[in-house]
Amino acid sequence: MDSLLSICDIKDDVKHILELASKIKAGEIEKNPLEGKTLAMIFEKPSTRTRVSFDVGMYQLGGRTLFLSSNDLQMGRGEPISDTAKVLSRFVDGIMIRAIEHDDVVELAKYSDVPVISGLTNLEHPCQVLADVLTIKEHFGSFDGKKICFVGDGNNVCNSLLLIAPILGMNMSVTCPKGYEPNSQIIKKAQKLANKNNTEITVTDDVELALNNVDVVYTDVWVSMGDEIESAQRKIDFKPYQVNSDLMKLANDDAIFMHCLPAIRGQEVSADVIDGPQSVVFDEAENRLHAQKAVLYYYLK
């Protein structure tokens, strides 16, 4: 059963899904294409955009959702993931899971007879970056020759951006303190994709180098869920990597600022940047809905 656990799972269909998202956003698809379909939504982590976009998206496509926290499922009492997958497959048409461990989602998909969509794991956040690149396409009109720079922690969002950028013909740089680089296996996969598509991937602790000729400046929180014990040290290590007006000046004059949200003004980004004219963070957040609807249409139609 095909599932969306990584951007690599849809590397040949990313453009098609983005076209679907644009058509859905423009109201150019049939009414209620998922009528009678049900999506189970499992949440091990709290969520705003993921929960609302999938819930509202499924409703607007004519289907319905079931919200299931860890406490709502027998998984929370030790039922094997494989058993949960087999049971849910007999009740619903698809499963969206926002989990902690990527391996748990891989196991869920292995034993599921319906599509499994990752709403986030510690390794990747594919649905987020689909919304991100949809926003980039809307703003610039094309991906050709564009360059993204991710500033800060090489986390799950950064990992997925590294994979999707070369697929779409974009260059990407990551600038972070030493020790906070993206996943090494993801970098290898991204480099392979970049070589195939004649694009460039760079990972460096040199902010000025990374921001040269950049069209998109992207950042995320310094302390993600699960990293709270490292909070004090992370605030020290990432301080030189705050996206502020001085840092934005290193990018192209027409560069846009992106953040997957929630954001902490005064930490990873200054208020004048995230609330300023170069910021597209709320267009990006809105596009979570349209991108998720495209994913649902693609997998459940």
> Was 289 annotated as part of a binding site?
no
> Was 259 annotated as part of a binding site?
no
Dig out the tokens for 257 from the structure.
């600022």
How many other CB atoms are found less than 10 A from the CB of residue 224?
16
Is position 102 annotated as part of the catalytic site?
no
Say which of 132, 153, 215, 220 is annotated catalytic: 220
CA angle 71, 4, 6 (to 5 degrees): 100
Is position 233 annotated as part of the catalytic site?
no
> Was 6 annotated as part of a binding site?
no
Is the peptide bond preceding residue 126 cis, with omega within 30 degrees of 0? no
> Was 245 annotated as part of a binding site?
no
> Was 126 annotated as part of a binding site?
yes
Say which of 102, 125, 259, 290 is annotated catalytic: 125
List Cβ neighbours of 163 (8 Å cut-off, separation of 6 or more). 6, 7, 8, 11, 124, 186, 189, 190, 193
> Was 122 annotated as part of a binding site?
no
Q: Which 3 state secondary structure label does DSSP give 141?
A: coil
CA-nearest of 100, 92, 90 to 70 is: 100
> Was 74 annotated as part of a binding site?
yes
> Was 149 annotated as part of a binding site?
no
Cα separation, 215 vs 177, whole angstroms: 22
> Was 98 annotated as part of a binding site?
yes
> Was 50 annotated as part of a binding site?
yes
* Identity at 207, one-letter amino acid code: V
Is position 265 annotated as part of the catalytic site?
no
Cα separation, 4 vs 134, whole angstroms: 17
**209 with 138: CB under 8 angstroms?**
no
**71 with 14: CB under 8 angstroms?**
no
Is position 149 annotated as part of the catalytic site?
no
> Was 125 annotated as part of a binding site?
yes
> Was 127 annotated as part of a binding site?
yes
Is position 288 annotated as part of the catalytic site?
yes
Say which of 55, 102, 128, 149 is annotated catalytic: 128
Is position 125 annotated as part of the catalytic site?
yes
Say which of 102, 234, 259, 288 is annotated catalytic: 288
Residues with catalytic function: 98, 125, 128, 220, 260, 288
Annotated binding-site residue numbers for carbamoyl phosphate: 47-50, 74, 98, 125-128, 260-261, 288
Binding residues: 47-50, 74, 98, 125-128, 156, 220, 224-225, 260-261, 288
Residue ranges for the known binding site for L-ornithine are: 156, 220, 224-225
